[in-house]
A = this chain, B = another copy of it.
Amino acid sequence: MPFKIAILGTGNVGYHLARRLKEVDHEASMVIGRDAEKARSMVETLSLNSAYTSETNFSETPFDFVLLAVPDKAIEEVISRYRFHKNTVIIHTSGAQPLDLLKGVAHCGVLYPFQTFTKNKPVDFEQIPLLIEGNSEQSVSKILELATLFGHDIHQVNSAKRLKIHLAAVFASNFTNYLYTIADDILKDTGLQLSDLNHLMQETVEKAIELNPRMAQTGPAIRHDEEVIQKHLNLLERHPDYKTIYTIISEQIGLLNKK
- Which of A's residues lie within 8 Å of B, judged by CB? 71-73, 96, 114-118, 121, 123-124, 127-129, 153, 155, 157, 161, 163-184, 186-187, 189-192, 194-205, 207-214, 216-223, 225, 227-228, 231-232, 235-236, 241-242, 244-246, 248-249, 252-253, 256
Contacts and interface: CB of A to CB of B under 8 A. Distances in A.
Nearest to A205: B201
Contacts of A121: 207, 210
Given A116-B203, A118-B216, A199-B124, A181 B235 contact: no
A166 B248 CA distance: 18
Nearest to A194: B209
A114 B200 contact: yes
Contacts of A201: 172-173, 176, 205, 208-209
B176 A204 contact: yes
Which secondary structure dominates chain A's binding surface? Answer: helix
A249 B245 contact: yes
A176 B176 contact: yes
Contacts of A249: 175, 178, 245
9 contacts: A153-B196, A169-B197, A169-B200, A175-B179, A178-B249, A194-B209, A205-B205, A245-B248, A245-B249
